[in-house]
Amino acid sequence: MAGFRSLARQVRDPHNDLALRRYSLRKCLERFAPYGHRATWDHLCTRAGFDPEDRSPDPARLEAALDELEEARAVWLAYERDFADRRKREKHDGLRRPGVIDDWHRLTWGGHGIAWCEDPAVHPGAPLAAVLRRLISALEREPGDLCPVCDSTDITWKQELTHEPFSGPLCEHCGIVVPRPVLTAEALMQIRTGNRRPALLAAAAAMSALSA
Ligand SMILES: [Zn+2]
């Protein structure tokens, strides 16, 4: 089975026919697809300016899409290396990481579905590498109550997702399944029980009562 880099060479090789070059880019997504295969394809095509169904896109656009994917992959591989190093050091020191990060990390093995987008047409608009950098910095700080990619609080609990975990917090604004480790236990519980908006409204009411 061809690896990501040899597929990337196929995409760039001007001697290949366009159908093969496009096919090779799609195959790259079997190695690395942060939003999942379909949503990542939709994202790359939209940003590079060709239709996802276009069988013979402009080669320069095809290469632009590959450039974006490769940059994001480099960001993710650097994070994976840091993660593995940190894990080794902690093991050596007899420390245990909170299970929640490990559990999440296992599900994103190989960079598939790091920020799963359940609806292939709804995904963040920013470059993939920028989105992954935001996600990684959220994973590396204390948990909060916002979407790590778009800062929205509009997060709802979704059942029957098509990628593991099969239920979880989904950002209604940018479309990603929010990795659980970036949310506090309290935020997760509010999202899960659907009590999030009343809680926020209550906080807002308390604030306005204080300032009245
Ligand atoms: Zn979001």
Q: What is the pLDDT of residues 1-22, one digit of tens each?
A: 689 999 999 999 999 999 999 9
Q: How far is the CA of 174 from the centre of ligand 1 (A)?
A: 4
C-beta atoms surrounding 38 within 10 Å: 17
pLDDT digits over 19-43, tens only?
Answer: 999 999 999 999 999 999 999 999 9
Taking a C-beta distance cutoff of 8 angstroms, is the pair 135, 149 a contact?
Answer: yes
Rounded distance from Cα 23 to ligand 1 centre (Å): 30
Residue 143: is its pLDDT beyond 60?
A: yes
Measure 172 CA to ligand 1 centroid, in angstroms: 7
Give 65 Cα–ligand 1 centroid separation in angstroms.
22
Residue 39: per-residue pLDDT: 97
Q: What tens digit of pLDDT does each residue of 74-108 get?
A: 999 999 999 888 888 888 888 766 677 777 888 88
Spacing, Cα 175 to ligand 1 middle (Å):
6
Amino acid 179: pLDDT:
94
Residues 65-77, mean pLDDT to the nearest whole number: 97
Report the interhelical angle of 59-92 vs 37-48 (nearest 10°): 130
Question: Residue 141 has which token pair?
Answer: 């700080």
Span from the CA of 29 to the centroid of ligand 1 (angstroms): 22
> Ligand 1 centroid to 94 CA: how many Å?
36
On average, the pLDDT of the chain sits at 90
- Contact present, 157 and 168 (Cβ < 8 Å): yes
More confident residue, 198 or 106: 106
A 10 A CB-CB count for 185 gives 10
pLDDT of 199 over the 70 cut: no
d(CA 175, CA 35): 9
**Residue 10 Cα, ligand 1 centroid: separation in angstroms?**
34
Which pLDDT tens digit goes with each residue over 105-135? 888 877 888 999 999 999 999 999 999 999 9
Residue 131: count other Cβ atoms within 10 Å of its Cβ. 25
Ligand 1: centre distance to CA 147 (Å): 5
Given phi > 0 = left and psi -120 to 50 = alpha, else beta, which region is 109? beta
Ligand 1 geometric centre to CA of 40 (Å)? 16
C-alpha 144: how far from its chain's center? 17
